[in-house]
Amino acid sequence: MNFNGWGNFEDLLRACGYTNSSDNENNLGCNDIPNGFQTLHPELFVLIGELLGNIIAGNTPFNVQNAIGNWLQLVGQAILTFNAQQQYFQAGPGRYYDLKNYNVVNPFCSTNPASPSANTSNTSNTSNTSASSKNSTSQTNDININRLQELEDQVQELTNELNRIKILLKN
């Protein structure tokens, strides 16, 4: 079989534009794994997986295909679980879904708009942004204080009702 000058898998990757990123060993956490695939184009990455799957499936019985496929899914789930725990360890528990958290930790956003539709590039005066941010925070605090007072009132009503029920049960 003619491999068009490709002696191994790395030759194929180099022909597709892949470069080895192990040159910079001083930046811990910035390097790809040796002969890794950080610079590999996503479409080529998917294509390689598809080709390997077709090659394996074409030469094995269906019960072995099921076993291998399930085992590969298990390996993938283990990797994803490990990755999720690592992200949780590094970033903490995170935030609950709320529009005020839109792009809140994105270092490439200079302002954190209150909603996705407000995400436009704006070159206005930053003092206006700061003032509106303070005003928005003040309004949010007022809403939270009002809601807290409502909840306290509801708890007091429930406590009173429970006391009335206790008196009725004693009689």
- Tell me how far apart the alpha carbons of residues 52 and 40 are, in angstroms, rounded to a whole number: 16
How confident is the model at residue 118, as a pLDDT? 46
Domain-embedded: residue 115:
no
Assigned domain for 125 exists: no
What pLDDT, on the 0 to 100 scale, is given for residue 19?
Answer: 64
Q: What pLDDT was estimated at residue 133?
A: 55
- Asked if residue 152 belongs to a domain, the reply is yes
Residue 89 lies in a domain: no
The answer to whether the beta carbons of residues 114 and 102 sit under 8 Å apart is yes
166: in domain: yes
Label residues 135-147 b or e (16+ Cβ within 10 Å = b).
eeeeeeeeeeeee
In a domain, 153, yes or no: yes
pTM for this predicted structure: 0.41
Q: What is the mean pLDDT of the chain?
A: 75
Q: Is residue 158 part of a domain?
A: yes
Low-confidence spans in the chain with pLDDT less than 70: 1-9, 12-13, 17-35, 109-136
Pair 32, 38: CB distance under 8 Å? yes
- Structurally, the chain folds into a number of domains equal to 1
Element (H, E) at 75: helix 62-91
User: What's the pLDDT at 34?
Assistant: 65
- Domain that residue 165 falls in: 139-171
CB 22 within 8 A of CB 28: no
pLDDT at 45: 86
